[in-house]
Amino acid sequence: MTLIIIAAHSKNLVIGKDGKLPWHYSEDLKHFKSRTMGCPILMGRGVFEELNEKPLPGRENIVLTSRKYDQVTTFDNIPEAIQHVQKYPKVYIIGGGQIYKQTLNLVDRLEITEIKKTVEGDVYFPEYRNDIGTVWKEVHRESYEEFDFVDYEKI
């Protein structure tokens, strides 16, 4: 099983503001959908609330939380959630900040949308850029005017 973080961050690593994404790029949403479709997605309760507690279609939605919801599988710890998805070839961790921070050192791959501006926010992606070349190897980059799609694999 390949465990993958998918995230979009600004130059200053902002990923969220007031419980939402601080930007709207439809191409990035399409990219997220095409990469994650058919794969299980692991998220924190913050992200699930952002989705208005409605699971994303076509993907097994797994929510990390101490609460219980009828519409999704929940786990109150990360090891059990990862154990649950072992049977799949690819699993995506889709945020938010708390979950990225706790899983950065567990994942095999990062699929990052690098937004080419500084943005104000209150939730950050954990610092990983100092480890590019030692822990992370860039394996793919697709450049657009406002952002790049960049994939890293663990060395």
Ligand X SMILES: NC(=O)c1ccc[n+]([C@@H]2O[C@H](COP(=O)([O-])OP(=O)(O)OC[C@H]3O[C@@H](n4cnc5c(N)ncnc54)[C@H](OP(=O)(O)O)[C@@H]3O)[C@@H](O)[C@H]2O)c1
Please report, as ranges, the residues that interact with ligand X according to CB under 6 A. 7-8, 15-16, 19-21, 43-47, 50, 64-67, 76-78, 94-99, 102, 123
Q: What angle do CA 147, 134, 151 make, to 5 degrees?
A: 30
Phi/psi-derived region of residue 152, left when phi > 0, alpha when psi is between -120 and 50, beta in every other case: beta
C-alpha span between 138 and 148 (Å, rounded): 12
**Which residue's entry shows tokens 């860039």?**
138
CB of 83 to ligand X, least distance (A): 13
- Give the nearer residue to ligand X in terms of CB position, either 35 or 154: 35
The nearest distance, CB 109 to ligand X, in angstroms, is 15
Minimum distance of ligand X from residue 79's CB (angstroms): 9
Nearer to ligand X, 66 or 86 (CB): 66
Nearer to ligand X, 53 or 133 (CB): 53
Our CB check for ligand X shows the closer of 56 and 99 to be: 99
What distance in Å separates the CA atoms of residue 118 and residue 11, rounded to the nearest whole number?
A: 5
DSSP secondary-structure letter at 125?
P
Find the shortest distance in angstroms from Cβ 74 to ligand X.
8
Omega within 30 of 0 (cis) for the link into 95: no
Q: How far is the CB of 153 from ligand X (least distance, A)?
A: 19
User: Is residue 115 classed as helix, strand or coil in its secondary structure?
Assistant: strand
Cβ distance to ligand X smaller for residue 65 or 73: 65
